[in-house]
Amino acid sequence: MKNIYLMLTCLAIAGCSREQPPAREPAPARKARSAAPAKETDHRPVIVAFGDSLSAGFGADPGQSYPDFVQKELDQRGYPYRVVNAGISGDTTTDGLERIHTVTGLQPAVAILEFGGNDGLRGLPVTTTRANLEQMIVALQKAGAKVVLAGMTLPPNYGPDYIREFEKIYKDLAAKYKLPFIPFLLEGVVGVPGMMQPDGIHATVKGNEVVARLVMRSLKPLL
């Protein structure tokens, strides 16, 4: 919890508030992309990293997002999967729901679902975030994907009641749909020197490597 609160302090300093939502990437950059180059004839099962800037690798050079490092881990361990990065910076759960059909169209074997941080920072109703995440989970499962749910938390200035209800979204949905659950995607990254970018929100390259290892612990039983 100490690390989580350090992150929350950084978030507050960074100035992300309900009045100042994180900026989204320019339109040309807002598209799903493979975490590693793949030929059109690549028929390996797909693992899709579906989320916002934390999945997209905001602030990191191409090839250095956490999905890129997951691909490297898979390759090194001999798992024949192709990771597709479907993260778009600035996306809320509503944005994710709007493009869910693009993701299910990939026919992923596994989906790492990472949304909600931007909802919380904008103070959106918890009921909306919950409903959107649930619809995405159902759609992904209907498409045959195994879903790994990644949770998030918020700065303390959002109030204990709102934060408690926000965090409860992930716990409840993971229990209801029996999903592999990562309570906090940035666990082991926040508060560690060199792991976070100056904005206090996004992981550095080293941080993304740590996130990838955390994600791999939930992925391995599904492969």
- Within a domain: residue 44? no
Is residue 102 situated within a structural domain?
A: yes
CB 69 within 8 A of CB 210: no
Domain that holds residue 73: 2-11+53-222
CA distance 71 to 46: 11
Tell me, yes or no, whether 189 lies in a domain: yes
Looking at the domain assignment, is residue 142 inside a domain? yes
Write the DSSP symbol of residue 196: B
Does any domain span residue 109?
yes
- Residues whose CB is less than 8 angstroms from the CB of residue 20 and which lie 6 or more positions away in sequence, other chains included: none
Instruction: Give the H/E segment covering residue 43.
Output: none
Q: What is the CATH number of the domain that holds 61?
A: 3.40.50.1110
Asked if the structure places residue 38 within a domain, the reply is no
Amino acid at 120: G
Q: Which stretches of the chain drop beneath a pLDDT of 50?
A: 1-3, 5-23, 25-29
Catalytic residues, which ones?
Answer: 53, 199, 202
**DSSP notation for 8-74:** HHHHHHHT-BTTBPPPPPPGGG-S-EESS---TT--SPEEEEEESHHHHTTTSPTT-SHHHHHHHHH
Instruction: State the angle between helix axes of 160-176 and 126-142 in degrees (0 to 180), rounded to the nearest 10.
Output: 20
Stated pTM of the model: 0.83
Is residue 37 a part of any domain in this protein? Answer: no
CA pair distance 186, 184, nearest whole angstrom: 6
Q: Is residue 129 part of a domain?
A: yes
Q: How many domains does the chain have?
A: 1
Instruction: Report pLDDT for 41.
Output: 75
Helix (H, G, I), strand (E, B) or coil at 222: helix
Q: How far apart are CA 123 and CA 76, in angstroms?
A: 41
One-letter amino acid of 25: E
pLDDT at 35: 61
